[in-house]
Amino acid sequence: MIISVINTVLIVAAISGLLALLLVIADLLFANYGEMKITINGKKELVVKGGSSLLGLLNDNKIYLASACGGRGSCGFCKCKVNSGGGPLLPTEKPFLTPQEIEDNIRLSCQIKVKEDIFIEIPENIFNVQKYKAVVTEIKDLTYDIKELTLKLQEPASINFKAGQYVQLESPPYEKSRQSASRAYSISSSPDNQHFIQLIIRLVPAGICTTYIFDYLKSGDEINFTGPFGDFSIRDSQADMLFIAGGSGKAPIKSMVEYLYQHGSKRRMIYMFGARTRKDLYYTELFQDLEKKMVNFTYVPILSQPTEECEWKGKCGYVTPFFPEYIRDPQNTEAYLCGSPGMIAAVIKGLKSNGINEANIFYDSFA
């Protein structure tokens, strides 16, 4: 009995899958949607050939929405308001939208296929995002799995961004990926240098973009990126600042601290950097040097798994137990976090239980 139920379920699932596949193939081969109009913010009109994703059609017209996963429907960054013409909300969009966003007609632009005239709203600052051509001037090993990439901008020759923002780097098709890929990387250099940017890239085994950067990209090569994106940036106040990062999450924090140093900030700043072992630490001298130069800056590397051989005399464990030692006035402290979603969730919980107001916690999650 149970076996026959399972068989029926499997057969129905297989037939549904086949029908869905046939529909996709038929759509690709026979559908001709002709010209459609995308109306943006009630004033700008684009005439496009229908049938492609809204995100892709906007990109083709040099309007770049954030899309950290490159349109795969896994980051939830490519949101825009669709007033009409977007078709029904898809199951692939729902996990990324709050009930309020659904009520406000917010959609994921990478999931919408433009099949009729569509009316959308996007923030005005998106029109400042540009596509840049750059040349790699240096690739440096920071640890066994982290590299620093220095890019000299060619066209346009300079970029205006805020410390903490990120760009989307394009890896071209190569041996291990037939398609180009676009991935988000925080700028690690200070916004004061507008002609070069630096990125800190951690290798993701079998990852499309990071494998390209680690195994194929060379000094002198050209690479494209779009940006700047994101609202992870320094708030204009005199509150104490607590920076917390792990792994390549050091990138936007480095940009922020260097910017604050260059602009003579006297704010009290603590930077807690979590790593597993001593070989995961990097830029230690750079931050120890900043400690000497800045009156109110303290750098605290913390190892979660120090080995006996590494002779570590610093702090051990996770960052959260050390909060009481460094948070002086919780009501007057802003926290800036960057790292994996798991690390961010744990740190937010720890900060709140140490009296930090949630409204003063800012973060970028490298999901």
Ligand X SMILES: Cc1cc2nc3c(=O)[nH]c(=O)nc-3n(C[C@H](O)[C@H](O)[C@H](O)COP(=O)(O)OP(=O)(O)OC[C@H]3O[C@@H](n4cnc5c(N)ncnc54)[C@H](O)[C@@H]3O)c2cc1C
Note the residues at the interface with ligand FES (CB under 6 A): 67-69, 71, 73-78, 108, 110
| C-alpha count within 13 angstroms, C-beta hemisphere, residue 362 | 18
Q: Does 126 bind ligand X (CB under 6 A)?
A: no
Cα-trace Rg, the chain: 23
User: Which of ligand FES, ligand X, none binds 71 (CB below 5-8 Å, type-dependent)?
Assistant: ligand FES
Q: Which residue from 136, 142, 155, 140 is spatially nearest to 217, judged by alpha carbons?
A: 136
Q: Should residue 202 be labelled a site residue for ligand X when binding is judged by CB under 6 A?
A: yes
Between 51 and 56, name the residue whose CB sits nearer to ligand FES: 56
Interacting residues of 89 by C-beta distance below 8 A, sequence separation 6+ = 97, 102, 107
Q: Find where tokens 């230690």 sit.
A: 284
CB of 339 to ligand X, least distance (A): 10
Nearest to 59, CA basis, from 224, 221, 191: 224
User: How far apart are CB 9 and ligand X at their closest, in Å?
Assistant: 28
Q: Which is nearer to ligand X, 254 or 268 (CB)?
A: 254
Pair 11, 3: CB distance under 8 Å: no
Site mask for ligand X (CB under 6 A), range 203-222, x = bound: -x-xxxxx------------
Binding mask 153-192 for ligand X (x = CB under 6 A): -------------x--------------x-xxxx------
Give the strand order in the sheet containing 130-141.
Answer: 181-186, 166-171, 222-229, 130-141, 146-155, 196-202
Q: Which does 185 bind (CB under 5 to 8 A by kind): ligand FES, ligand X, none?
A: ligand X
Are 287 and 271 spatial neighbours (Cβ–Cβ below 8 Å)? yes
The SS3 call for residue 297 is strand
From ligand X, ligand FES, none, interface partner of 207 (C-beta below 5 to 8 A by class): ligand X
Q: How many CB atoms lie within 10 A of CB 204?
A: 13
**Contact set for ligand X, span 266-305 (CB under 6 A):** none
The binder of 360, among ligand FES, ligand X, none, by C-beta within 5 to 8 A per type, is: none
- The whole-angstrom separation of Cα 235 and Cα 269 is 13
Q: Which stretch binds ligand X (CB under 6 A): 35-43, 104-112, 195-203, 299-307?
A: 195-203
Tell me how far, at minimum, the Cβ of 242 lies from ligand X, in Å.
20
| Residue 270 binding partner per list ligand X, ligand FES, none, with a CB distance cut-off of 5 to 8 Å that depends on partner kind | none
Instruction: Determine, following the binding rule CB under 6 A, whether residue 251 of this chain makes contact with ligand X.
Output: yes
| Partner whose binding site includes residue 67, from ligand FES, ligand X, none (CB under 5 to 8 Å by kind) | ligand FES
Task: Please say which residue, 59 or 168, places its beta carbon nearer to ligand X.
Answer: 168
Closest to ligand FES by CB, 71 vs 85, is 71
Residue whose CB is less far from ligand X, 109 or 333 = 109
Residues facing residue 35 across a β-bridge: 49
Based on the number of CB atoms within 10 Å of its own CB, is 132 exposed (0-12), middle (13-18) or buried (19 or more)? buried
Q: How far is the CB of 53 from ligand FES (least distance, A)?
A: 9
d(CA 82, CA 307): 54
- Provide the token pair at 132: 């840049």
- For ligand X, the binding residues (CB under 6 A) are 68, 75, 166, 181, 183-186, 200-202, 204, 206-210, 248, 251, 364, 366-367
